[in-house]
Amino acid sequence: MWKRVAFGHAKIVLKAVITDIDGTLTDEKRRLNTTAVETIRKLQDNGVEVVLASGNTSCILKGLSKLIGTGGTFIGENGGVFRIGFSGSLVVLPNRQIALEALDVLIQHFEKQGITLDMFSPRERFADVAFARTVPVQVIRELLSGWNVTILDTNFAIHIQEAGFSKGKAFQKIAEELRIPVSSFLAIGDSENDIDMIQAAGAGCCVANSAQEVKEAAVFISKKSYGDGFVETITRFFPHIFER
């Protein structure tokens, strides 16, 4: 079932949802909100495709897609990889070698200060590199100034990836393959890596705990935070499913 929503004088038909995970479907401790999971399952059961879009690795997203109950389509590594459905092949977009070379510069710099970067799933990543937020992101931006890379601080990790890729750009590719216009998607997130995804969607939303720049990009901001904000947003835009 699809929902027609009016924004100003324009009306859009919402057929699908694309959502961030950490900070959007979880709480501040990264625990999945169980009501958000139930909400996603009800969307899927009523014909609304739900796509997960995260900085997480593809192996994590493969498991989450199955356990949460989506249709299997996801974006991982902040737009670096994606898969269509459970039977689709993993598509890798950026050249990870560029990110690895940039990482080597950072490792050498911080080792001189006696600091070791805490890497996140280096063997499971195909498109980017990610590490703990134990070093200042501004220092990283200065060290890699002039490099052809994007540096993202997702509030949970710092990511480095070849420039020119993002959740929003992968979203465009997924929408085309699913044959659902981006204008028929509701997008929801909380961090800077969600902004272009939110801006591209027909209904771009964010949860109350979002960064200010994300709130400025959204057409709807939930009153509640984290996973509760996701549930609030979905029930607001799909009342024909949740008010029965």
Q: In tens digits, what is the pLDDT along the chain, a chain of 244 residues?
A: 444 555 544 567 899 999 999 999 999 999 999 999 999 999 999 999 999 999 999 999 999 999 999 999 999 999 999 999 999 999 999 999 999 999 999 999 999 999 999 999 999 999 999 999 999 999 999 999 999 999 999 888 999 999 999 999 999 999 999 999 999 999 999 999 999 999 999 999 999 999 999 999 999 999 999 999 999 999 999 998 987 6
Q: Which residues are catalytic?
A: 20
3 by Cβ neighbours in 10 Å (0-12 / 13-18 / 19+) ranks as middle
User: How many Å apart are CA 233 and CA 20, to the nearest integer?
Assistant: 13
Say what the alpha-carbon torsion angle 235, 237, 239, 242 is, to the nearest 10 degrees.
-30
* R_g over Cα of the chain: 18
> Residue 36 is encoded by which pair of tokens?
């958000």
Whether the Cβ atoms of residue 186 and residue 48 lie closer than 8 Å to each other: no
Containing 186, the helix (H) or strand (E) segment is strand 185-189
